[in-house]
Amino acid sequence: MPPIDVVELLFILLSFLHVAHTEYTERLILRPLPALNQVLGSFEFSVSEVSAIESESIFPNVLRQILDKYDVGSLHLTFSIGKYADWRYGAAQNLNGSSCAHAPFGTRLQVALRADLDAQQRWRGITSELGGIFSASLNQMDKTVVTNLLPTSKLHEYGVYPSTNVSQSLLFLQGSLPREEFCTENLTPWLKILPCRSISGLGTLIDPIMAVSGEYLMVSLYAERSPDGTYSLRQHLTTVQSPTKRNKARWSLGSLFLASHQTSTNLVACPLARKSTIITKVNDSLDMVTTDLRIKVVPLSEPWFENWKDASEKAVVNPSSNNQQDVVSVHRFTTGYGQVRGSIAVQLQNNHPSCGMLVTYLDVIPWYLRIYFHTFKANIRGNEQRAQKAIQAFDFVPAEQRGRPSQLRVETFLPANTTLLFSLQMEKTFLRLSEHPPDANRGFDIASGVATFTIQKNSDKVSVCDEKATSPFTTTLYTEPLLVPLPTPDFSMPYNVITMTSTVVAFFVASETTVNTIDYYSDLLGSQNLSAICFQFFARYLMHIMHSENAFGVKVTSNKLRNLKDTIEHRSR
């Protein structure tokens, strides 16, 4: 019998201790994308635990302390690099039964507090502690980016985690940092929260360097504390990797997620996991292949998709695989020119051939972009009257000067094959010098907007819609983050002023020093006046030049120059 590793033995013993009050599952969903020569992988780690002694708990103590200290009902933290596109990676809501496979670009934090007492102070404490855990600048989520629920909005319209519940006794707060960069130092703490970390289980397949190097990456964490004392933790990681970096015919789990020197080991289930599965979705069908790691040990070098080359060639030949149009889409952009005025435009598009969509769009705009809500204009194919009939609700909350941001909510109905375009005029504020970032000429980042598409229940084609979509069909999409240039001063002017001032000051100081020094030496010389001293200095300098020329073989042929020399020597005696 082979010897058992000490670490594995400890994990086995811990699994027997926690089986009574803890449930931990891990799952990996693989979606091959042969047309793009890529594979989408979605990791899910779930912990559900009844309140227990911290020393016997696998729920992270750092998160438990935050939930208890600040009386938090739930918190949802996401990091994202890139933009998720359904036509490239497939529908996000069909990947794992929810929309948690993607998130807006940058960093977003959503918190449900159990009471509104000292909400801002508790928010600052939560962001400070989470920022310290994940090495992120979450403390920059101040009052200028934090918002709460609009009176007319619903919770799912904000793209929250599906199980988030906000009642009248809970206060929902949200903040975003679209400019926050995601790096391996942010992913490493996320891995350490896993019960088995990256020692065993599906966490072994997560290499921070490889994950960040992919085309798309989304990392999220959802922690919840129920009134009955149950603590829940959901961790998601979605990445898009190219499997054929070294072998174009086939690929393995090791070559897909890990570096070449880490593919010689086996993949085993985490001993604490009740379920540990890998689900591979077959192309162009709803069939799935499930691999249970608690039953089967998978070598990381074992080929995972044998006919990858044939599937890639078939996808290239098949034109249906290259459809570059989403069923529904949303885009946001700026119009106008100059650094003072402009407009923000949003395009909502329903490309479904037979289904009408109920669309809700939410946007948060910082205070330094003054939105003129009375300039709201909308049109459908150039027809403004038709667009006004389609708009069912238009709500907004104006911003405060150097305070809360503006909030915008638009609810509309889009018939099949319809595109709605609406815009609002804005004015860019002149900021103080201290309010500009170090690279102000780059521009200011605006967080992504959220659009929710839902099939209209009273549509005439509802039977067709239910056949082609999940029931109920609801998808959440995020716009691109905006980069808006603001009026910026000429930051090079201070350096020009400093240079000019230094030159002028140096000129006058040097002149004054020279005059004072010459007067001092003339007093020491007594009867000799200043003109005699200057003449003697000039004479000695000229004689030095003449002797230097003679040293190089140059003869003095000018009679006037010789006479000048004799005169100087006579005067110098």
Please check the confidence at residue 307 and state whether its pLDDT lies above 70.
no
pLDDT of residue 348: 96
Q: For the ranges 379-383, 468-472, 530-534, which has the lowest average pLDDT?
A: 468-472
Q: Considering the domain boundaries, does residue 16 fall inside one? A: no
pLDDT of residue 543: 62
Q: Considering the domain boundaries, does residue 478 fall inside one? A: yes
| Shared domain check, 31 and 130 | yes
Average pLDDT, stretch 396-419?
94
Q: For the ranges 318-322, 417-421, 447-451, 482-486, which has the lowest average pLDDT?
A: 318-322
pLDDT band at 283 (very low <50, low <70, confident <90, very high): low
Q: What tens digit of pLDDT does each residue of 522-539 get?
A: 555 555 555 666 666 666
**Amino acid occupying residue 419:** T
| Shared domain check, 79 and 47 | yes
Q: What tens digit of pLDDT does each residue of 395-406 get?
A: 999 999 999 999
Q: Which of 405, 442, 408 is nearest to 175 (CA)?
A: 405
Average pLDDT, stretch 338-350?
92
| Shared domain check, 130 and 64 | yes
Please check the confidence at residue 55 and state whether its pLDDT lies above 80.
no
What is the Cα–Cα distance from 209 to 206, expressed in whole angstroms?
A: 9
Two tokens, residue 30? 């693989």
Alpha helices (runs of H) in 114-169, residue ranges in sequence order: 119-134
Q: Considering the domain boundaries, does residue 383 fall inside one? A: yes
Please check the confidence at residue 15 and state whether its pLDDT lies above 80.
no
pLDDT of residue 513: 79
What is the Cα–Cα distance from 40 to 455, expressed in whole angstroms?
A: 27
What is the Cα–Cα distance from 68 to 224, expressed in whole angstroms?
A: 11
Q: What tens digit of pLDDT does each residue of 213-263 get?
A: 999 999 999 999 988 889 999 999 999 998 866 555 678 898 889 876 665
What is the Cα–Cα distance from 454 to 355, expressed in whole angstroms?
A: 10
Count of domains forming the chain: 3
Please check the confidence at residue 545 and state whether its pLDDT lies above 80.
no
Please check the confidence at residue 394 and state whether its pLDDT lies above 60.
yes
Two tokens, residue 139? 């403390």
pLDDT of residue 534: 64
Two tokens, residue 285? 């069908």
pLDDT band at 91 (very low <50, low <70, confident <90, very high): confident
pLDDT band at 304 (very low <50, low <70, confident <90, very high): confident
Percent of the chain with pLDDT over 90: 44
Please check the confidence at residue 97 and state whether its pLDDT lies above 60.
no
Whole-number average pLDDT of the chain: 82
**Amino acid occupying residue 48:** S
**CA pseudo-torsion sign 93, 95, 97, 101:** negative
Largest pairwise CA distance in the chain? 122
Q: Considering the domain boundaries, does residue 505 fall inside one? A: yes
| Shared domain check, 76 and 149 | yes
| Shared domain check, 102 and 244 | yes
Q: What tens digit of pLDDT does each residue of 477-486 get?
A: 999 999 999 9
| Shared domain check, 500 and 479 | no
Q: Considering the domain boundaries, does residue 5 fall inside one? A: no
Alpha helices (runs of H) in 148-271, residue ranges in sequence order: 184-192, 208-212, 253-257
**Amino acid occupying residue 410:** V
Please check the confidence at residue 362 and state whether its pLDDT lies above 60.
yes
Please check the confidence at residue 176 and state whether its pLDDT lies above 70.
yes
Range of the structural domain that residue 249 is part of: 22-317
**Residue 170, phi then psi, degrees to nearest 5:** -115, 145
pLDDT of residue 407: 96
CB 364 within 8 A of CB 482: no
Q: What tens digit of pLDDT does each residue of 479-524 get?
A: 999 999 998 888 877 778 888 889 888 888 887 777 777 655 555 5
Q: Whole-structure pTM over 0.75, yes or no?
A: yes
| Shared domain check, 26 and 61 | yes
- Domain boundary (279, 297, 317) is at 317
CB 462 within 8 A of CB 455: yes
The pairing of strands 22-33 and 275-281 is parallel
